[in-house]
């Protein structure tokens, strides 16, 4: 890789680590000529599906547009940039795991709302008001009431842990029998 300081072509990797839940490799590099150090990130380049808009027209997935959606909802809210990055990566992972060439914008919006609900309730309601096209105060009230009835992140995690522990208990023990000798 070319050195960003002196444009030399000879750089070497000093350190490599996994980043972003294993979806990226962070590499620390050093230039052989100027001894400058810099960091690069490597990630698999996968084709993302087209997003089918409400009107039926397809549009290529745009990560920047997804980030702007999160930024608009989270404007002046106490949420860290790392949390936003994690949410964007989670939505993109869901898109890739779907394995389809086209995904409805409604599905994408629901995934964004799931992430916002766990990060910040005010941001969630902001996004929902635009996404679901609230027309009056009653729509806000209904959404807030629905939000209050949903389990919190902590409750969902404890439920998941309980389900996983029940699955471990319910798994039958695997035994192997030796064939009888003749």
Please report which confidence band the pLDDT of residue 170 belongs to, taking 50, 70 and 90 as the band edges.
low
Domain borders along the chain are: 11-43, 50-150
Q: Is the pLDDT of residue 176 over 80?
A: no
What is the structure's pLDDT at 173?
A: 52
The H-or-E segment that residue 53 falls in is none
What is the structure's pLDDT at 9?
A: 92
What is the structure's pLDDT at 179?
A: 55
Percent of the chain at pLDDT exceeding 70: 82
pLDDT digits (tens, 9 = 90+) for 41-97: 888 777 889 999 989 999 999 999 999 999 999 999 999 999 999 999 999 999 988
Which stretches does DSSP call E strand in the chain?
11-19, 24-31, 37-43, 50-52, 58-60, 102-104
- CA-CA distance, 39 to 2, in Å (whole number)? 12
CA 73 to chain centre: 16
What is the structure's pLDDT at 159?
A: 59
Please report which confidence band the pLDDT of residue 161 belongs to, taking 50, 70 and 90 as the band edges.
low
- 168 or 181, which is more confident: 168
- CA-CA distance, 167 to 158, in Å (whole number)? 14
Average pLDDT for residues 3-28, to the nearest whole number?
90
């Amino acid at each position: 890789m070319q050195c960003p300081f002196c444009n030399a072509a000879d750089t070497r990797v000093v350190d490599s680590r996994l980043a972003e839940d294993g979806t990226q490799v962070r590499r620390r590099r050093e230039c052989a000529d100027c001894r400058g150090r810099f960091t690069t990130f490597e990630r698999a380049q996968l084709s993302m599906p087209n997003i089918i808009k409400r009107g039926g027209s397809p549009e290529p997935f745009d990560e920047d547009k997804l980030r702007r959606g999160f930024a608009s909802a989270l404007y002046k809210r106490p949420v860290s940039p790392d949390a936003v990055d994690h949410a964007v990566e989670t939505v993109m992972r869901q898109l890739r795991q779907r394995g389809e060439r086209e995904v409805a914008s409604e599905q994408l919006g629901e995934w964004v709302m799931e992430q916002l609900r766990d990060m910040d309730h005010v941001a969630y309601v902001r996004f929902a008001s635009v996404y679901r096209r609230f027309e009056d105060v009653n729509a806000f009230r209904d959404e807030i009431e629905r939000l209050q009835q949903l389990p919190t992140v902590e409750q969902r995690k404890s439920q998941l842990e309980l389900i996983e522990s029940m699955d471990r208990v319910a798994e039958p023990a695997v035994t192997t029998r030796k064939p009888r000798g003749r």
